Amino acid sequence: MRALIAGLACVLALAQAAPALAQADDGFCRNGLFGEENPGFGLARITGTDKARFYLDADGCPRQSAACLDKPYVLPGDRVVTGRSKAGFTCVYFPNAGGGTAGWMPAARLTALRVDTAPPLAAWLGRWNDHDNTLRFARRRDGLWVEGWAYWPSARPDPAFRRGGPNIGTMAGMVGRTGNRGSEPGCGVTFHLLGDIIVAADPGRACDGMNVTFSGVYLRQKR
């Protein structure tokens, strides 16, 4: 019964997010809100023979113009998380140890990769990190349990900047799953599992301190 209730809550949370994402696309594609600005996610490999520059998302971009080119770039063979498409471009995120980069990428430079859309519960288990922010998924009773900790500006900020320590958000609850998506209804955080990556969206900030969010791209950590 708990699993059924959690599953229904997951469907409701994902359905409630759809109207906002269905509005006219403003072209926004940046690190901080990557998980919230895209209705779904996939994986792709960068193709071609030379580096692929990211494109900006303001002043009429993205478009094929030197004025829209950003400085960051990825290389052929790099793997990126993909979001929505617009005018021949795809909103992508390149995760790395330095924090990752989001921006528009010409769709012609992307080859989609297979993603398991019906992963077993075991595929979620373990610890996942986005900088200092952490998610821990575990089996509990007849379903999936998540605990999370999020911080601003970091888990251990410079005392000269934050004498009182970081602002903190915490989350703990059962996760309803539908395919490779999940939702923790208590905090309203949704998850999208892409193999060794989880994209989290936290639009309501229901369990967060000031400036804190669980939104992000989390990488699986070694056990």
pLDDT in tens, 168-205: 999 999 999 999 999 999 999 999 999 999 999 999 99
* SS3 state of residue 11: helix
Angle at 102 (CA atoms; ends 22, 168), nearest 5 degrees? 85
Long-range CB pairs of 20-27, under 8 A, 24+ apart, other chains included = 20/203, 25/84, 25/86, 27/57, 27/58, 27/61, 27/62, 27/86, 27/104
223 pLDDT more than 80: no
Q: Where are the alpha helices (DSSP H) in the chain?
A: 2-22, 34-37
Q: Enumerate residues 6+ apart whose C-beta is below 8 A from 43.
A: 79, 80, 81, 82, 112, 113, 115, 194, 195, 197
Report the pLDDT value the prediction gives residue 99, as an integer from 0 to 100. Answer: 79
pTM of the predicted model, to two decimals?
A: 0.87
- What is the residue whose two structure tokens read 């979001």? 83
8 Å CB contact between 176 and 8 = yes
Please check the confidence at residue 24 and state whether its pLDDT lies above 70: no
49-67: average pLDDT: 96
Phi (first) and psi of residue 136, to 5 degrees: -125, 120
